[in-house]
Amino acid sequence: MTRADAAPGGNKVLLSPARRIKNLLMGGLILLATLLVVAPLILIFAYLLREGVGALNADFFTKTPAPEGETGGGLLNAITGSLTMLGMASVIGVVVGVAGGIFLAEYPRHPLMPTIRMLSDVLAGIPAIVMGLVAYGLIVLTFGFSGLAGALALGFLMIPIVVRTTEEVLKLVPHTVREAGMALGLPQWLVILKIVLPAAAGGIVTGVMLALARVAGEAAPLLFTAFGNPNVNLNPLEPMSALPLEIYRGATSAYDENQRMAKAGALLLISLIFVTSLLARRFSRR
């Protein structure tokens, strides 16, 4: 006995009972695997929601941390520091990353292409803490701890993600589009700037937002570069706080109030990353 099931395109296919059982079994295994992947995120979010949502009040967004052992205060210094450093890191990551992606996608026969690709692959495999040590050696040992050093480390982490995304998105633009521009007498650089990049803008923006979400939660490179600051600081040449730094310090503190603020900061950070990922998906569908 067989049963007709819908197939792609609306056609009906006849499946034997054994085939239907195999389909149900494999579908159940895939659903179970999906739940195992999603379960840790749900459990972490539920835990932070239960433990940290009570600290997300007006003081959390408008005040700096209270002294050790005292209640109250907020993470205004960390919020402004994270936004400032991510903004500067975006400038570094977007400019260098998009330029590298254009080079790899549009000039595949250039003699430097294998070298650039190898450097991009190596950069993608460097751990975040090592990137922090590099920024420490290049900037901190000479100029001291600063938000600029932290932004440089985060920018270096963004570059390989933006490069890879830009390259893949540009390859999706049909070559006929480029040939049409060339047929009009436009030079290659102008075809890339005026025709190819606008056609791939949605995908490039998606890559940038995913890269931002990736580096927003990094604490290790900031420990060696930005160092942290209990006060609100917008000067990039001085030590600057960030949400991952305050979460790390609060979570390792012996005071319950500091741990509560760390959980609230983690909840805020995960929510921002979640919103950024949703925006990236929205751009990718355009």
Query: Which domains, from first to last, does the chain contain?
Result: 83-284 (1.10.3720.10)
**Average pLDDT, integer, range 16-44:** 91
pLDDT interval class at 35 (50, 70, 90): very high
pLDDT exceeds cutoff 60 at 216: yes
Instruction: Please tell me the predicted confidence (pLDDT) of residue 253.
Output: 87
C-alpha span between 169 and 280 (Å, rounded): 14
Q: How many CB atoms lie within 10 A of CB 63?
A: 16
Return the minimum-mean-pLDDT range out of 10-19, 86-95, 191-200, 238-247.
10-19
Query: In 136-224, which residue ranges form alpha helices assigned H by DSSP?
Result: 141-143, 147-172, 175-183, 188-191, 197-199, 201-216, 220-223
pLDDT exceeds cutoff 90 at 87: yes
pLDDT interval class at 8 (50, 70, 90): low
pLDDT exceeds cutoff 90 at 52: no
Instruction: Please tell me the predicted confidence (pLDDT) of residue 202.
Output: 85
C-alpha span between 211 and 161 (Å, rounded): 6
C-alpha span between 87 and 205 (Å, rounded): 15
Question: Residue length, the chain?
Answer: 286
pLDDT digits (tens, 9 = 90+) for 53-68: 888 889 899 999 888 8
Q: What is the dihedral of CA 68, 82, 262, 278, to 10 degrees?
A: 170
Instruction: Please tell me the predicted confidence (pLDDT) of residue 11.
Output: 59
pLDDT digits (tens, 9 = 90+) for 103-150: 999 998 888 888 888 888 888 888 888 988 998 998 999 999 999 999
